[in-house]
């Protein structure tokens, strides 16, 4: 099975967010970038599946040259090769169009994504890719396997589980619990240096979005301690200051 794993390069969760250029650009200076955690899961599961049944795993990132160290980490985890679509991703639609183009050209059987990126949290790229390709789509899978041309996945639903099958080619997004993310070992890190990382130009589709302005959320006020005996003061604050009722 030929698997294409989508990897979003995101800031580490401890990053202090600031902006530049009149609050129109995210300030990347000093920021540690990582593989989107949900994408680590889909990549690990893709590796497990191809190790068990044969096939290949390619990772794809839509991003600029500064994403390459993180793409090399995905190669160190075990992916065979990588594609970087050379573009500044502006929104989910644009990213999905780039991925769909490569998925079609490379004749992949399975496109794996995370359930969402932990920076912009759109949760939309996977569905858009499936729609653009006209392929079946299984969202937020917590178990995933393949048997011949059939993909089997399990999802959490209200009060139970749902078992789904789909014919390849198809798109599946990963939910937590899919597997334990793999940590690259020294051999993987050494091998990653010489694995192919193919840089391809972006296709000119759905380039609609631009940022007018970013704004940080308001700073949270400190904790106010209220004596347990003083319910009246608590009610007064909730009513008059917080306007909760």
Residue ranges in contact with ligand FAD by CB under 6 A: 6-8, 36, 38-39, 60-63, 88-92, 95, 113-114, 116-117, 120-126, 209, 211
Q: Output 104 or 148, the one with its CB closest to ligand FAD.
A: 104
Minimal CA–CA distance to 20: which of 153, 165, 163, 214?
A: 214
Count of positions (residues) in the chain: 245
Nearer to ligand FAD, 65 or 223 (CB): 65
Query: Half-sphere exposure of residue 191, counting CA atoms within 13 Å on the CB side?
Result: 13
Supply the DSSP string of 140-163, one letter for each residue: EESEEEEETTEEEEEEEETTEEEE
Least CB distance from residue 41 to ligand FAD, whole Å? Answer: 9
Shortest Cβ 134–ligand FAD spacing (Å):
18
> In this complex, which beta carbon is closest to ligand FAD, that of residue 185 or of residue 209?
209
- Minimum gap (Å) between residue 47 Cβ and ligand FAD: 15
Residues 6+ apart with CB under 8 A from 208: 90, 91, 93, 94
**What is the residue whose two structure tokens read 């401890």?**
14
Q: Which is nearer to ligand FAD, 62 or 166 (CB)?
A: 62
- Rounded Cα distance between 190 and 183, Å, is 14
Q: How far is the CB of 169 from ligand FAD (least distance, A)?
A: 17
- Taking CB atoms, the residue at the shortest distance from ligand FAD is 122
């Amino acid at each position: 099975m030929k698997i294409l794993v989508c990897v979003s390069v995101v800031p580490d969760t401890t990053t202090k967010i600031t902006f530049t250029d009149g609050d129109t650009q995210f300030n990347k200076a000093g920021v540690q970038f990582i593989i989107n955690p949900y994408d680590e899961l889909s990549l690990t599961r893709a590796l497990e599946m191809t190790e068990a049944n044969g096939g290949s795993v390619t990772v794809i990132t839509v991003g600029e040259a500064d994403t390459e160290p993180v793409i090399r980490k995905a190669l160190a985890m075990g992916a065979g090769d990588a594609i970087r679509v050379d573009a500044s991703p502006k929104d989910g639609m644009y990213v999905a169009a780039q991925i769909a183009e490569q998925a079609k050209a490379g004749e992949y059987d399975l496109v794996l994504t995370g359930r969402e990126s932990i920076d912009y949290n759109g949760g939309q790229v996977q569905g858009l890719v499936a729609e653009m390709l006209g392929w079946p789509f299984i969202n937020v899978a917590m178990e995933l396997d393949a048997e011949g041309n059939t993909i089997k996945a399990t999802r959490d639903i209200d009060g139970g589980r749902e078992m789904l099958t789909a014919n390849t080619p198809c798109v599946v997004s990963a939910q937590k619990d899919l597997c334990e993310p793999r940590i690259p070992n020294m051999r993987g890190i050494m091998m990653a240096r010489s694995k192919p990382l193919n840089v391809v130009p972006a296709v000119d589709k759905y380039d609609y979005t631009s940022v007018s302005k970013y704004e940080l959320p308001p700073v949270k006020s400190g904790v106010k301690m209220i004596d347990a005996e003083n319910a009246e003061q608590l009610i007064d604050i909730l009513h008059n200051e917080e306007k909760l009722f």
